[in-house]
């Protein structure tokens, strides 16, 4: 499979460290608020990636953290503590907030058919692992103590800006814009591994450590959790593009300094969802959540399809008009599939070229929108219904759009979706007109025609209904 790698900034063949096995890590949510549909875009595209790797036969182990401590409103370690901010807003404890929004996040994931990762690890479960790593970094000379906090010394690395698109000046801008500059840092790009001196006197969660009572920095969480569950060689690390710097850059710095070798060669970043006001973000308050879409009558899978219709490396602009178009397309697609008959055996040889084009799309840097066109190609193809259904089930192992799940009664296929049924409907309509016009000869002729087609007509108060003879 060819996949774009942010580390190196090019498309390349994805090769795991151990053949046949993929160790995959995804940055999980900071649980101080609902995930917005921008966050969910990232999780949907990561889900597609995971499922496609499984489809290719890889044995995937996927780990996700839950950030319930340490994430400040600026990713460069300044600003307010996000969890504390959430707790104050709702007059609850940090752990109550974490528990509530973690459940809400996985409930959204379930509605979007996002598979639950093999391991979900809240940061607050791993304090000993963070301490162990910080101690080792101090011992190796990659970290220093200043003003009570422990910092990572980025000047010890020859290549800190691994993703290439950041420089000291960009960071200076970031520092100027943030609430206050941290004068403890030796270099502007240094970051906190362990806080003891927090300006938040009411910081609820604190742990004892060799460096003093305090709490971990956000970046150390993902490195330590990944190494705990996936070992020293990670194959694939994922997140939204805003995570590339400083979060992922810092993860690489500290993990590779700690391990003494390359840690993760492949980095997968999903571009942002925006709307008319710009990037969707929790902290700016400019966001939409999945339950709002549900309240407005959208099936969550319509939003999943909306995301699949565009490439993960392009920014995606959300409007209700485009979502409406996807809704119409999704409902029509489901009805067309529901009209297929489950009869006979699939012809696997005839199916193979369609699988190949699906795979070719996905192999080319996860081109999900092209993969979706394979669904339409199958529906249009000269294949038996059984073969079509077999192919759609196969693709849906990755797309997860419930393509072949039976429709609820109210949405059952409309007769016009089935050409044979549409012809019968037209004949019945003609016969009703003939009867209205007292043209009994035509009405009887049509009745005979329908009998030949084994159609039984039933008079009901709502008009004539029909079914095939048993
Ligand atoms: P957070 O809960 O803020 O830690 O973010 C969870 C995930 O969503 C991270 O991978 C972020 O990079 C990603 N993310 C944040 N904002 C957006 C957005 N507007 N569009 C897509 N992904 C986003
Ligand atoms: Zn992370």
Q: Which of 167-171, 234-238, 438-442 has the highest mean pLDDT?
A: 234-238
Q: Measured between alpha carbons, how far is 413 from 4 in angstroms, rounded to an integer?
A: 40
What's the mean pLDDT in 194-223?
Answer: 84
Ligand 1 neighbour 38 (Cβ under 6 A): yes
Range scoring the smallest mean pLDDT among 369-378, 441-450, 455-464: 455-464
Q: Does residue 10 sit within a domain? A: no
**Region for residue 263 given its phi and psi (left: phi exceeds 0; alpha: psi -120 to 50; beta: otherwise):** alpha
Predicted confidence (pLDDT) at residue 417 exceeds the cutoff of 70: no
Cα angle 426, 432, 438; round to 5: 140
Atom of ligand 1 nearest to the CA of 243: 12
Same structural domain, 48 and 119:
yes
Residue 195's contacts (CB-CB under 8 Å, 6 or more residues apart) are: 70, 149, 214, 215, 216, 217
The whole-number pLDDT of residue 175 equals: 40
Place of tokens 């000869």: 441
pLDDT at 169 over 70: no
> Domain end: 382, 411, 440, which one?
411
Answer whether 39 contacts ligand 1 (Cβ < 6 A): yes
Judge if the beta carbon of residue 85 lies within 6 A of ligand 1. Answer: no
Q: Which residue has the higher pLDDT, 438 or 166?
A: 438
- Tens of pLDDT, residues 308-341: 999 999 999 999 999 999 999 999 999 999 999 9
45, 193: one domain: yes
* 25: in domain: yes
CA of 39 to the centre of ligand 1 (A): 4
* Stated pTM of the model: 0.86
Name the domain count of the chain: 3
**Does ligand 1 have an atom closer than 6 angstroms to the CB of 239?**
yes
Contact 334 CB / ligand 1 (< 6 Å): no
Q: Which of 171-180, 211-220, 304-313, 406-415 has the highest mean pLDDT?
A: 304-313
Q: What is the mean pLDDT of the chain?
A: 90
Q: How far, in Å, from the CA of 89 to the mean position of ligand 2?
A: 24
Q: For ligand 1, atom 8, name the residue with the nearest CA.
A: 39
402 shares its domain with 419: no
Q: pLDDT band at 179, cuts 50/70/90?
A: very low
Residue with the larger pLDDT of the pair 277 and 78: 277
Q: Is 117 in the pocket of ligand 1 (CB under 6 A)?
A: no
Does the pLDDT of residue 460 top 80, yes or no? no
Give the residue numbers spanning the domain of 422. Answer: 415-468
H or E stretch at 142? none
Tell me: do 194 and 315 sit in the same domain. no
Cβ pair 65, 222 in contact under 8 A: yes
Residues 424 and 369 in one domain: no
Ligand 1 atom 5: residue of nearest CA: 29
Residue among 368, 123, 163 at smallest CA distance from 268: 163
Per-residue pLDDT reduced to its tens digit, 347-372: 999 999 999 999 999 999 999 999 99
If one residue of 65, 242, 290 were mutated to test the ligand 1 pocket, choosing by the most ligand atoms within 8 A of its CB, it would be 242
Ligand nearest the Cα of residue 86 is 1
**Are both 193 and 58 inside the same structural domain?**
yes
Average pLDDT on 84-112 reads: 91
User: Is 201 a domain residue?
Assistant: yes
Specify whether 388 is located in the same domain as 275. no
Contact 112, 301 (CB under 8 A): yes
Is residue 307 domain-shared with residue 240, that is, in the same domain?
no
Statement to judge: residues 213 and 327 lie in one domain: no
Whether residue 206 is found in the same domain as residue 333: no
Q: Are residues 43 and 178 in the same domain?
A: yes
* Per-residue pLDDT tens over the stretch 7-39: 999 999 999 999 999 999 999 999 988 999 999
Q: Distance between CA 290 and CA 109 in Å, rounded? A: 10
One domain, residues 195 and 321: no
Question: Separation of 252 CA from ligand 1 center, angstroms?
Answer: 19
Q: 234, 259, 279: which is the final residue of a domain?
A: 279
Pocket test for ligand 1, best of 35, 38, 275 (most atoms within 8 A of CB): 38
Ligand 1, atom 7: nearest CA belongs to which residue? 39
């Amino acid at each position: 499979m060819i996949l774009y790698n942010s580390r190196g900034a090019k498309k390349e063949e994805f090769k795991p460290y151990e053949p046949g096995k993929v160790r995959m890590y995804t940055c999980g949510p900071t649980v101080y608020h609902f995930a917005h549909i921008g966050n969910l875009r990232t999780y949907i595209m990561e889900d597609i990636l995971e499922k496609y790797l499984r489809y290719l036969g890889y044995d995937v182990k996927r780990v996700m953290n839950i950030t319930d401590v340490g994430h400040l409103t600026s990713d460069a370690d300044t600003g307010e503590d996000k969890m504390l901010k959430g707790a104050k807003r709702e007059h609850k404890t940090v752990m109550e907030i974490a528990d509530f929004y973690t459940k809400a996040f996985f409930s959204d994931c379930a509605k979007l058919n996002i598979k639950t990762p093999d391991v979900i690890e809240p940061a607050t479960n791993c304090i000993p692992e963070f301490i162990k790593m910080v101690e080792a970094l101090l011992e190796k000379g990659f970290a220093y103590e200043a003003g009570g906090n422990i910092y990572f010394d980025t000047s010890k690395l020859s290549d800190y800006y691994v993703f290439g698109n950041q420089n000291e000046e960009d960071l200076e801008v970031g520092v100027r814009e943030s609430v206050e500059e941290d004068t403890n840092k030796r270099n502007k790009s240094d970051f906190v591994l362990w806080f003891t001196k927090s300006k938040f006197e009411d910081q609820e969660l604190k742990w004892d450590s060799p460096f003093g009572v305090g709490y971990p920095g956000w970046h150390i969480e993902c490195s330590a959790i990944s190494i705990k569950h996936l070992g020293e060689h990670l194959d694939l690390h994922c997140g939204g593009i805003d995570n590339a710097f400083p979060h992922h850059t810092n993860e690489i710095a500290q993990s590779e300094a700690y391990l003494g070798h390359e840690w993760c060669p492949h980095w997968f970043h999903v571009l942002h969802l925006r709307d008319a006001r710009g990037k969707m973000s929790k902290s700016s308050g400019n966001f939409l959540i999945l339950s709002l879409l549900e309240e407005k009558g959208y099936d969550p899978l319509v939003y999943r399809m909306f995301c699949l219709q565009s490439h993960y490396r392009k920014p995606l602009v959300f409007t209700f008009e485009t979502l409406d178009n996807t809704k119409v397309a999704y409902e029509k697609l489901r009805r067309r599939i529901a009209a297929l008959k489950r009869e006979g055996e699939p012809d696997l040889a005839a199916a193979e070229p369609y699988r190949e084009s699906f795979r070719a799309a996905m192999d080319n840097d996860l081109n999900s929108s092209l993969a979706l066109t394979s669904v339409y190609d199958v529906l249009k193809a000269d294949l038996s219904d059984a073969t079509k259904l077999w192919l759609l089930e196969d693709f849906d192992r990755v797309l997860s759009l419930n393509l072949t799940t039976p429709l609820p009664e109210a949405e059952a296929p409309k007769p016009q979706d089935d050409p044979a049924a549409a012809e019968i409907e037209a004949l019945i309509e003609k016969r009703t007109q003939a009867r209205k016009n007292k043209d009994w000869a035509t009405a009887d002729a049509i009745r005979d025609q329908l009998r030949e087609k084994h159609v039984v007509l039933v008079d009901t108060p709502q008009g004539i209904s029909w079914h095939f003879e048993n």
